[in-house]
Structure 1
Amino acid sequence: MVDWIIFLPACFALNMACGPSNLLAMTHGAKCGVPFAQKAAIARLIVFVPMIAASALGLGLLLTASPFVFGIAKAIGAAYLIWLGIALWRSAKTLKSEEFLDKSVSMKIAFRTEALLAISNPKAILTFAAFFPQFVILDAYWQSYAMLGAAFLIMEAIAIFAYALGGSVASTFAADKIPVFQRISGAMMCVFGTLLLMAS
């Protein structure tokens, strides 16, 4: 049986970590509201499903074992984070708070951004390839992996809601600070990208 007493709090801590994907959910929540952020983040959950399956099949372990392949994935993820951070920062320079809150962001673009950010971030691969196997039951390998994956996705959805709600509340009580918030988000994206690029 899966050791849920250890897995659930440890996994939820990973879900709630302030990474680029959660930061994006917070930005969408601040800009377009919680429902919009949750719908956009469905793309993240969809991307995670085959990544969990790939990890179960051993492809995640292959990526972590191959410095060259992992290096390519890491470089792509880092470059995308930095590009997204710069884009967020630049858009805040001429953006007024009332324009920020006008719900004009395209769902298609938000959906695509969530998906690209999820698939290009090696942190997710490491989570599925290095964290999950510690709790897998060998005698019920596929069943336990599926249960761990389902639990992860549920907690990820909760984390998305929490960050989106946090962004929405912040925009409600400090709408005039939204451009500042966007600059901070952009800067943090660049920091995450740089750290990812430098990490061994």
Structure 2
Amino acid sequence: MSTSAPASAKKNKTVPHPELDALAERIGEFIQYWGFKRIHGKIWAHLYLSEVPLDATTLVKRLRVSKALVSFSIHDLLEYNVIREVARGRGRTVLFEANPDLTGIILNVLKLRERKMLTRITAAADHLGATAEGSLREMKVSPKKLGDMRELMNSAETVLDFVIGSGAESRDLFDGLKMMMPSAAD
């Protein structure tokens, strides 16, 4: 029994496309800047730009990377809801597409990743603040600057909680910002 992908997923999977590769690479660099892996951006770019959903084997061939790397990366992208499973082909073939809700993706990443980071930073600053003042002086840490840093983290947490906790208002905020940006057509 064959486990090959449906014909729609087989199109253009092995033909090199340097222009597409270059764009996917730039998107990978951008995504890497924001703390994800370059491969995440490259996979997302291929899925987002594809006219049809793609399977992991097609991504392996297009990106010329290992099946394990694509598999782990797909798992990560699914966790953040950046991509989604849309169909199952013959055998164990699973087809994926990019989540078209970019605002939702951003809000989800803020909630799942950035919020946790801020919590860990705040906890570490609180832990340092609980250190005896003599120890802080020995470390040459300014209690005032540490207090300022903790206030900054509290403010950042408050703003982030507002953005990710506002539901529809968050989407309105992002959509409003997008509308304020000049378009390429202008």
RCO greater where, 1 or 2, for CA within 8 Å and sep 6 or more? Answer: 1
Greater strand proportion = 2
- Larger gyration radius, structure 1 or structure 2: 2
With the length of structure 1 as denominator, give the TM-score of the two structures. 0.26
How high is the TM-score relative to the length of structure 2?
0.28
In terms of fraction of residues, the more helix-rich structure is 1
